[in-house]
Amino acid sequence: MPRNFYLLLIVQFISTIADNAFLIVAIARVIELSSADWVTPLLKIGFTVFYVLLAPFVGPLADAIPKGRVMVMANGIKVGAVMLLLSGVDPVLSLLFGGLGAAIYAPAKYGLMTELLPPKDLVRANGFFESTTVCAVILGTVLGGVLISPIMPHIDLPTDYSQFDTTPTQLVAGMLCLVGLNALALCLNFGVSDSGKRYPAHSFHPVLVIQRFFRENAVLWRDPLGGISMSVTTLLWGVGATLQLIVLRWANEALGLSLAQGAYLQGVTAFGAIAGAVLASRFVSLHQAINVLPLGIVMGLLFPVMLGVQSVTAAVVLLIVLGTLAGFFIVPMNALLQHRGCSLLTAGRSIAVQGFNENAGMLVMLAVYAAATAAQLSLHSLIWCFSALVTVTMAVLVFNRQRLLLAPGANPY
């Protein structure tokens, strides 16, 4: 692997830690402000919405400018988002601004990885990337729990500094740590060198960009393996984002854990995901990626087991198993989708199309979860609904797999 790839991994690691800790701190701020329960899923919605709204533009932007520069700009926006939270801006608006930076960042980082490596190395590279990302999710989630815990020193900002909200906060020290982490990622981005890959110039006229984006979206969906992998990743991103909040609620209602303790438990899932990602990168080639589809059915059937868990030890075991299955499942799917996207479109545009669909799935799922929470739907009902959704959808994909692979143009290799 080239040196630039490893530097990209380091930047991704730090940035992901900061993003996940930011969410936990923002949830704590929502609780501190005594906001309604349905505001919590709005935090994730706010962080995700720009991934969808800006998808037609961030892909061409990542292809028009050296991707290292795009990443610098995106991390600068993330620093500003934490500063907004620190200055008293509503947590939802702060995460909305952070999501703007993340939406710009995603096509650049994944596109650069696709440019740096040949197709035969993509599964292995995705294993590295997924393992690094999942490690960062663990540390970020745990760090978020630490940043909102009583062990953090109490810091008072000058009374004239907070311009947006007069409600006092005990989270200043944690927010300052987040500023530092994002600033570190920003500085490291200056070391990410250009891959040298260039694409033909295209118009940035909004109407033309949007029209071209939806044509490109259709190209990837109509491709037999591109459509399969897109369906899988879109479903799992939506369910995963919602389950992140469900696990926090489950930890509180079923196990009696606090938000900080629930954040630690949530991070346990990532240990399994690391193992699954490593195993996938070792034993699954790009040609075999489609063979992991049945694991999605197994995952869907395991979700309701949560309802019978009454101890923290059993919860840890279950979440590790689910994480391992998810890691082993998603790494080959991501690699396949990236390979087909880069072959059919360009690195930046294909990642933008992928991000649009995956994050649109997240928005839909999170909106449903917010509505269900506002309607006071029970935790049992929510878990059963998500289990049925994953199991049935994956069963349909597995059933149709052979027919799709025999379709014209289905040979992607």
Please choose, from the candidates 192, 196, 270, 202, the residue with its C-alpha nearest in 3D space to the C-alpha of residue 61: 202
19/182 Cα distance (integer angstroms): 9
Residues 65-79: what's their mean pLDDT? 85
What are the pLDDT digits (tens) for 236-271?
A: 878 877 877 888 888 888 888 877 777 777 767 777
Q: Which token pair is 374? A: 């506002």
Find the largest Cα–Cα distance for the chain: 67
Query: Distances from the Cα of 103 to the Cαs of 46, 341, 366, in angstroms?
Result: 12, 18, 17
Of the chain, the percentage scoring pLDDT greater than 90 comes to: 5
Which residues, including other chains, have CB under 8 Å from residue 294's CB and lie 6 or more apart?
394, 398
* Model confidence pLDDT, tens digit, residues 154-182: 777 655 545 555 566 778 888 899 999 99
Confidence grade of residue 139 (pLDDT, cut at 50, 70, 90)? confident
CA distance 276 to 92: 33
- Residue 203's pLDDT band, with cuts at 50, 70 and 90, is low
Cα(239)–Cα(390) distance, integer angstroms: 8
CA of 112: how far to CAs of 63, 109, 194, 197, 198, in Å? 10, 5, 9, 9, 11
Note the pLDDT tens digit of each residue in 352-381. 788 788 888 888 888 888 888 888 888 888
Q: Which of 61-70, 130-139, 399-408 has the lowest mean pLDDT?
A: 399-408
How much is the CA Rg of the chain, to the nearest whole Å? 21
Distance in angstroms (rounded) separating the CA atoms of residues 232 and 335: 12
Asked whether 155 and 177 are in contact (CB, 8 A), the reply is: no
Average pLDDT for the chain: 79
Are 69 and 191 contacting, i.e. CB atoms less than 8 angstroms apart?
A: no
The pLDDT of 380-385, averaged and rounded, is 87
Q: How far is CA 87 from the centre of its chain?
A: 26
Nearest to 216 by CA among 335, 334, 339, 350: 350
> DSSP 3-state assignment of 117?
coil
Tokens matching residue 96:
């909305």
Q: For 118-134, what is the mean pLDDT?
A: 71
CB 350 within 8 A of CB 335: no
Homologous superfamily of 3-188+210-404 in CATH? MFS general substrate transporter like domains (1.20.1250.20)
pLDDT (average), residues 300-310: 87
Q: What is the 3-state secondary structure (H, E, C) of 1-64?
A: CCHHHHHHHHHHHHHHHHHHHHHHHHHHHHHHCCCCCCHHHHHHHHHHHHHHHCHHHHHHHHHH
Under 8 Å between Cβ of 15 and 75: yes
Q: Taking residues 17-41, report their average pLDDT.
A: 84
CA distance linking residue 216 with residue 345, whole number of Å: 7
Q: pTM, whole model, 2 decimals?
A: 0.68
> Average pLDDT in the 210-227 region?
84
Kindly give the interhelix angle for 55-64 and 39-53, rounded to the nearest 10 degrees.
Answer: 50
